[in-house]
Structure 1
Amino acid sequence: MSQTTLDEERNIAAGVDDEVVEGNRRVFEGWRFTTVAVAAGLYAAFHMAALTGLSISSMTGIDLPFLPTFPMETWNFRIVHVAGALILGFLFYAPNAFPENERGETRLIGILALALGIPAVLSLIVAIWFALMINSGVQWTGMDPTIKFRETWLYGAPLWLATFGGIGLSWWHRRVRSGFAIPDLVLSVCAVSVAVYLITIYGTLMRNSTGTPFAPIGISMAAVAGSALILEMTRRVAGLALVVISAFFLVYVFTGQFLPGFLNSPPIEWGRFFSQLYTDAGILGPTTAVSSTYIILFIIFAAFLQASKVGDYFVNFAFSLAGRARGGPAKVAIFASGLMGMINGTSAGNVVATGSLTIPLMKQVGYKKKTAGAIEAAASTGGQIVPPIMGAGAFIMAEITGIPYTEIAIAAIIPAVLYFVSVYFMVDFEAAKLGMEGMSEDEIPSTRALMKKIFLFIPIVILIVALFMGYSVIRAGVYATLAAVAVSWLTAHRMGPRKIGKAFEMGGVMSIQIIAVCACAGIIVGVISLTGVGARFSSVLLDLASTSQLLALFFAMCISILLGMGMPTTAAYAVAASVVAPGLVQLGIQPLTAHFFVFYFAVLSAITPPVALASYAAAGISGSNAMETSVASFKIGIAAFIVPFMFFYNAAILMDGTWVEIIRAGITSIIGVYLLSGGVQGWFILGRAGYVTRVLLVLAALSLIEGGVLSDLLGLVFVAAAYAMHRFRDAEITATELLRGRDKARTS
């Protein structure tokens, strides 16, 4: 058998790039598949064209007035961005389980939903009619009773009937997995109607009237319908957690006037509130700004890597480097999940993608089910803090704070290293305690063969180099995507027109979840900004800080984790940044430090019991108990819960200081997380550690992690004490064993 054949057999990552189909996602066939595939591909290609400023007119020289020109006006672009994701989402994702066959379909509900198509189409026709009227010069104002009547009864009322009726019927409707559901088609029309109306109105001077009596009532009614569609889509693609939190905030808007203390807010009339919610103060604000640019661009980039099978290579490369080490598959999970998680921007999604390969292998070499799932969850979560992409978190941080993206990416280097060094040692010590060995030579891909394809890292290298050369994030992402196509021509998986189309289709589908989640997070951000609760929360932090800054930071940590539970990374950070970060800044903490603090804890909510999305996803693959897995993943990622406090006490961790300070902080912190891992796992200097030694190791770790000269010296003292205690215990155990041996010899 040839060496090439052997190398192909060792491609144990084969299939890791295959598209993951969720349990409630429809799988179309025939003309339906072609229709939705083309729609998803065009949606992704539209964003790529808009972000690069390309249009059919500019490429062909032919002026086609009915097609969009780029760059689009910002608000219009974001409205289309959200509407397109809603349309695709309602086509792809069912609200409930699929029947086994056509006999299980609820056709009567489908007929009732078909009747709702009449008001849905009517609202769309009226929105177009309004656009034509405004275009012809009709003066539009919310104070005109005729216009108000038309907007309320000809546009708003039919839209509400179709939206809320369609959502309600969709919950009870059953349709086979390969077919379109009529209630969801109605909801898609409603999404178009909302977009057409808002683009029309915001295209006039009406956007300046939001929140005033001059705002047309149709804006508020469209915003109510749009918010309901976003909440329903979020429920389908991300579960109930974020929807419940969003609903809680919406209820707060109208009940805050009755609450005591810092929760009390002035009364807000529903029309005034919703007329501002679907603007850049809420849904169209920072979260949608990032999802419509950076996030979808890198999702398309990830789709191109997936379509060209570069993801296979990344995982195989990780196996070749770490597979031989003790507990090899676990260490592969750390490298592979960290790399893939950096790009795809969702901890739970990365668990599903790479965990389906690594978790069974970890169980095979001897890890317990809960430990295997916990390692994958911790590694996938860590991918969200790895620069330069940081699961899109870096881009949201840059958008919110105004801090240059490159500064954020550089500041993230040492914290990311600390996290993965900690997880690596946790895994290594666990393997040592269990007496594990690595994978055999014939079980892993050939390093020599993989080195011949090292050029497959070129897209990542180009991305990093372009970013740090000062190119814009969008330009760097486009270059990296083009590089993925180019390098595919050096492999057996060449990307021609068909595969490029498939990559755009995958990008469109993959973006649905994160866009819906970001839009839903925008609802929460809108409530916070429009009610002023964020400022009042800041005052609470200031009061706590007068007693103890550490107590204020601990409280901020708890709130960040609580707000992030059940949410994907981007939404979790966006909400925490709106509520917690301003308070930390008012404490005198630098904006970069404050935002990194809340970002880390928002990310870590994915492995924090009791609601740990990444851990639950891993438990589903490993077959372990979800709560036990989340507790185990919390233990494995324990160092990451300490690192954010280091930002406050030692700014050098975020590259803020002289090179001597930064290098010393990095080295002592790495030693600190090594000792912390030893203390938590009970392993030190090639042997099991006793309880006293473990306590001393943890104290030494905390002292070294703190970063001051005196604390470092104190840490060394604790290390020496731990070493002495460890040797004393070893000597005591050895003496005991010798005595037992002599007793046995005398007895015999």
Structure 2
Amino acid sequence: MTDPHSADPQGPIVAEGVDDEPVEGNRRIFTGRTYLVVAAMSAIYAFFHMAALNGMSIGELTGIRIPLLPTFPMETWNFRIVHIAGALILGFTLYSARGFVDEGTGQGRHPLDFVAWAAMIPALYAIWTAWGIASQIASGVQWNGMSPEFKNLEIYHYGLPLVAATAIGIVVGWLRGRERGQVSPADLLLSVCGVAVAIYLITMYSTLMRNSTGTPFAPIGISIAAVAGTALIMELTRRVAGLALIVISGIFLIYVFVGDMLPGFLNAPNIQWTRFFSQVYTDAGILGPTTAVSSTYIILFIIFAAFLQASKVGDYFVNFAFAVAGRSRGGPAKVAIFASGLMGMINGTSAGNVVATGSLTIPLMKKVGYPARTAGAVEAAASTGGQIMPPIMGAGAFIMAEITGIPYTDIAVAAIIPAVLYFVSIYFMVDFEAAKLGMRGMRSEELPKLRDMMRRVFLFIPIIILIYALFMGYSIIRAGTLATAAAAVVSWFTPFRMGLRSIVKAFDLAGIMSIQIIAVCACAGIIVGVISLTGVGARFSSVLLGLAEASQFLALFFAMCIAILLGMGMPTTAAYAVAASVVAPGLVQLGIPLLTAHFFVFYFAVVSAITPPVALASYAAAGISGANPMETSVASFKIGISAFIVPFMFFYNGAILMDGTWFEVIRAGVTAVFGVYLLSSGMQGWFAGSLAAWFIRLGLVLAALCMIAGGLVTDLIGIAIAALIFVIQLKFRPAADAQIAVRGSD
């Protein structure tokens, strides 16, 4: 064990680089003119959304009316199509399909590059054909999806060239390695294919053809464009989010065409590929709730987060946390809880938040004596919990509001007590761990001065404005815009004052940050489309109803397992979107209130990031701590154990979600916090200032479950058990089991 006071003084710890943009292993780094072009594309893409969401037009901003420019807000489907197409262009430009080759080895001509350039001809031809179709429709031609003339044009002059070019671009991207600063011809080809898909779909959906999707009267071109669009979305998702979501999406796509051969509740009707793909690229699938949220609330708050990063608010959050909590025993772990919770609330990605704050907190936790796996586990659990912290709650809460129709403010208020329970539990877990290991706090000279941090407390103003605006009845978009503007204003009182260049850089950063979440939401939309068209969600609900006849708890446990399994290896947003389509409807049919059912699913989608065997947040933390990834995931599961119990509390005690009188809500909150304290004591084996024997730990867990149950009788039983255990522990001091006693030497 390391004594933090044995180290030589090294001066105060000052968090720096928390707001720096992490660069993924397959992301290109450009310089010179290429960098300026890509940065401009990214900034324009983000600003386009800010302008569209606030109902502005370029003419309103400049006073110049240009007929060719769109007037905002755009038509909904067109806006979402442009939203996805822009992400595809930026994503293929920035993210390579494979690892980079060494400097100097990717130069020169290569046969595969010629193949990609040659495939540009059919891709451009598809765009020319789509543009021609748009011109004909604009001139008054009545497009008929059943006409042989029109079908031949769509198949042979648009569809086949587009699909061929898309396939060539994907395969060449896999095979041809490039240097990190080089743009790949294959990726330029895929960007052109994305434009071809967007032009055609906007043309068709701007006419009455949108009403024919999913029917035999849909133009064949819609189905072919959707095939290419689906392939492009899945390829970009693979590049930015890994294979987990792609594998699950692939399984669902296969299910569409083999479902009629499967037995039992998995049996689905025989569906033609043309019918499926003519519907999957609509608001029943890719353009549905997930993309609706990513194109509005999510990208807006990504812009907000980018502005906060530009003003170095993340560094301030971490330094403030060190100043407040650094002196307590195991101080860096408590700093990680506070700082990671704040950062995770804003950026909405567990693994990304681990990388941002864990690079500072994990080494410090190891320095004061935490084992490597525990240091990584604390950071993973805290970063994951940020997504259940109101008011922003990452991105999943926005999707919940979109799917359920429940006002976002109601969701944020309902999340208060569960978020408190989660972070209080982690705090107790790390505090008891520090007590067992005999840790002390960090020295005052190692920490930022609290009085200096208080002088910059105004950096919290943008978040305060966001909360105030939301609860004053402003729309989410208007509240987010005001908070973003406030972030720029407060930066003027810091050394990182945002001028025009910094604002453009923030929009550039926002565009880049949005790529992953947009791709993930669009890919999740594919799964949602499969569920909608095949009806598998309704059949799953019938299974839950059948289980509930035997035991309602068994049905909830089964729903928990499915939500966690769907979320393993997937970003939270996609995990919740899929689980909300499969699991939540069945819970509602059990008679569980809509908000409770979706919170139940949401929490387990969130904690899937720390659930072994596939725990993305834990694996990211293990990469920093140097510990075994599986051991880290098991430790983070233990630290976040309360999150696996809290959702069951929703079902048995609605007051946890603010559903009840003030007395009921306060009583539920207080008793639940005490229950979480007892649960943490039992899990860590530390109670009443000393290590606890096995039967003491078992009694603490039993008392905790009674307190968490929420009933008056169970609360009294839990208090009685806890009081009895306290007396036994204080008076008799039973010897702790050997495993805990030697834990400090780990």
Tell me whether 1:218 sits opposite 2:217 in the alignment: no
- Give the distance between the partners of 2:732 and 2:174, measured in 1 at CA: 63
CA contact (8 A) 1:102 1:175 kept: no
Partner of 1:745: none
Report the residue type matching 1:101 in the other structure: E
Cα deviations across residues 296-346 of structure 1 (Å, max 9, x unaligned)?
Answer: 000000000001111111111111111111111110000000001001111
Equivalent position of 2:38 in the other structure: 36
Q: What is the rounded CA distance, in whole Å, between the counterparts of 1:123 and 1:325 in structure 2?
A: 64
Instruction: Return the match for 2:178 from 164, 175, 178.
Output: 175
Choose the corresponding residue for 2:266, options 263, 266, 271: 263
Alignment equivalent of 2:28, drawn from 23, 26, 29: 26
Q: Which residue does the alignment assign to 1:125?
A: 128
Deviation, 1:720, is 2.2
Distance 2:544 2:444 in 1: 56
- CA drift of 1:10 comes to 4.0
Give the distance between the partners of 1:596 and 1:656, measured in 2 at CA. 13
Q: Is residue 251 of structure 1 aligned with residue 283 of structure 2?
A: no
**Superposed, which structure 2 residues align to 1:344-423 within 5 Å?**
344-423=347-426
The alpha-carbon deviation at position 108 of structure 1 amounts to 2.1
Amino acid at match of 1:724: V
The separation in 2 between residues aligned to 1:376 and 1:128, in whole angstroms, is 51
Query: Partner residue of 2:99?
Result: 97
576, 593, 597: which is aligned to 2:596? Answer: 593
Partner of 2:741: none
Task: Write the letter of the residue equivalent to 1:402.
Answer: G
Once the two structures are overlaid, the 10-residue window that deviates more, 305-314 or 720-729, is: 720-729
C-alpha displacement at 1:52, in angstroms?
Answer: 0.7
Out of 626, 629, 644, the residue aligned to residue 626 of structure 1 is 629
Task: Assess if the C-alpha contact under 8 Å between 1:262 and 1:536 holds in 2.
Answer: yes
- Which structure 2 residues correspond to residues 295-334 of structure 1 after superposition, within 5 A? 295-334=298-337
Match of 2:607 in 1: 604
**C-alpha deviation, 1:717, in angstroms:** 2.0
**2-side partners of 1:729 and 1:626: how far apart?**
40
Task: Tell me if structure 1 keeps the 8 A contact 2:13–2:446.
Answer: no
Q: Displacement, 1:9? A: 7.2
| Map of 1:191 onto structure 2 | 194
Match of 2:740 in 1: none
- Cα distance in 2 for partners of 1:641, 1:732 equals 30
Moved more, 631-640 or 113-122: 113-122
The equivalent residue for 2:50 is 48
Distance in 2 of aligned mates of 1:731 and 1:699: 18
- Indicate the SS of the match to 1:102: coil
Partner of 1:501: 504
- 1:3 is matched with which residue? none
Counterpart of 2:154 in structure 1: which amino acid? E
Partner of 1:518: 521
* Alignment partners' CA distance in 2, 1:223 and 1:9: 59
Q: In the alignment, which residue of structure 1 is the partner of 2:119? A: 116
Segments of structure 2 that go 5 or more residues without pairing to the other structure are 1-9, 737-746
Kept in 2: contact 1:346–1:568 (CA 8 A):
yes
SS in structure 1 at match of 2:394: helix
Q: Could you tell me which residue of structure 2 aligns to residue 72 of structure 1?
A: 74
Matched residue, 1:439: 442
Kept in 2: contact 1:690–1:729 (CA 8 A): no
2:669 alignment partner, one of 647, 652, 666: 666
Shift, 1:111, TM fit:
1.6
Q: Aligned partners of 1:665, 1:248: CA distance in 2, in Å? A: 42
Rounded to whole Å, the distance in 2 between the matches of 1:125 and 1:725 is 83
Runs of 4 or more, structure 1, over 3 Å off, are: 8-11
Go from structure 1 to structure 2 and tell me whether the alpha carbon gap of 1:477 and 1:11 turns closer, same or farther (over 3 Å shift). Answer: farther
Contact 1:110 1:182 in 2 (8 A): yes
Match of 2:558 in 1: 555
Query: What are the ranges of 5 or more consecutive residues in structure 1 without an aligned counterpart?
Result: 1-7, 734-748
Residue 428 of structure 2: aligned partner: 425
**Aligned amino acid, residue 47 of structure 2:** A
Displacement of 1:483 in angstroms is 0.2
1:684 to 683, 687, 705: 687
Q: What per-residue deviation string (whole Å, max 9, x for no partner) do you get for residues 403-437 of structure 1?
A: 11111110000000000000000000001100111
2:513 counterpart SS class: helix
Are residue 701 (structure 1) and residue 704 (structure 2) matched? yes
Instruction: Tell me if the contact between 2:458 and 2:490 (Cα under 8 Å) persists in the aligned partners.
Output: yes
Write out per-residue CA displacement over residues 223-272 of structure 1, whole angstroms, 9 at most, x where no aligned residue: 00000000000000000000000000000000000000000000000000
| TM-score normalised by structure 2 residue count | 0.96
1:485 matched to 2:497: no
8 Å CA contact 1:696–1:721 kept in 2: the answer is no
Residue type at the aligned position of 1:30: G
Query: What is the distance in 2 between the residues matched to 1:352 and 1:153?
Result: 48
* Separation in structure 1 between the aligned mates of residue 534 and residue 547 of structure 2, nearest angstrom: 22
The question of whether the paired residues in 2 share the 8 Å contact of 1:318 and 1:336 is answered with yes
Q: What letter corresponds to residue 229 of structure 1 in structure 2?
A: L
Q: Distance in 2 between matches of 1:721 and 1:266?
A: 60
| Offset at residue 102 of structure 1 (A) | 2.6
The correspondence of residues 467-482 of structure 1 with structure 2, limited to 5 A, is 467-482=470-485
CA shift in 2, pair 1:19/1:100, >3 Å = same
| Corresponding residue number in structure 1 for 2:65 | 63
- Residue in structure 2 matched with residue 460 of structure 1 by the alignment: 463
Q: How many residues align?
A: 726
- Deviation of 1:728 after TM superposition, in Å, equals 4.8
TM-score calculated relative to the size of structure 1 = 0.96
Deviation at 1:152, TM superposition (A): 0.3
Please list the CA deviations of residues 200-227 of structure 1 after superposition, one character each: whole Å capped at 9, or x if unmatched.
Answer: 1100000000011111000000000000
Aligned-partner Cα distance in 2 for 1:335–1:731: 35
- The question of 1:227 aligning with 2:230 is answered yes
The answer to whether the Cα contact below 8 Å between 2:105 and 2:179 also exists between their aligned partners in 1 is: no
**Which residue matches 1:137?**
140
| Amino acid corresponding to residue 62 of structure 1 in structure 2 | I
Shift of 1:603: 0.4
> What amino acid is aligned across from residue 620 of structure 1 in structure 2?
G
* 1:713 CA displacement: 1.0
In 2: Cα distance, 1:194 partner to 1:562 partner: 33
- Between the aligned partners of 2:40 and 2:62, the Cα distance in structure 1 is 22
Distance 1:21 1:300 in 2: 18
1-structure distance, mates of 2:568, 2:152: 43
2:5 alignment partner in structure 1: none
Structure 1: which amino acid aligns with 2:220? I
Equivalent AA in structure 2 for residue 80 of structure 1:
V
Distance (whole Å) between structure 2 residues aligned to residue 206 and residue 124 of structure 1: 19
Name the CA distance, whole Å, in 2 between partners of 1:442 and 1:127: 67
> Residue by residue, what CA displacement relative to the aligned partner does 1:644-676 show, whole Å, maximum 9, x if unpaired?
000000000000011111100000000000000
Structure 1: how far apart are the matches of 2:495 and 2:105?
Answer: 45
Aligned pair 1:719/2:699, yes or no?
no
Q: What SS class does the counterpart of residue 179 from structure 2 fall into?
A: coil
The one of 553, 566, 571 equivalent to 1:568 is: 571
The two structures, once aligned, show a CA RMSD in angstroms of: 1.2
Change in CA separation of 1:476 and 1:683 when aligned onto 2, cut-off 3 Å: same
Shift of the 731–43 alpha-carbon distance from structure 1 to 2, 3 Å rule, reads closer
Q: Give the Cα–Cα distance (whole angstroms) in 1 for the partners of residues 380 and 13 of structure 2.
A: 23
Q: Note the alpha carbon deviations across 1:377-399, whole angstroms, 9 max, x for none.
A: 00000000001111022211110
The residue type paired with residue 698 of structure 1 is V
Give the letter for the 1:212 counterpart.
T
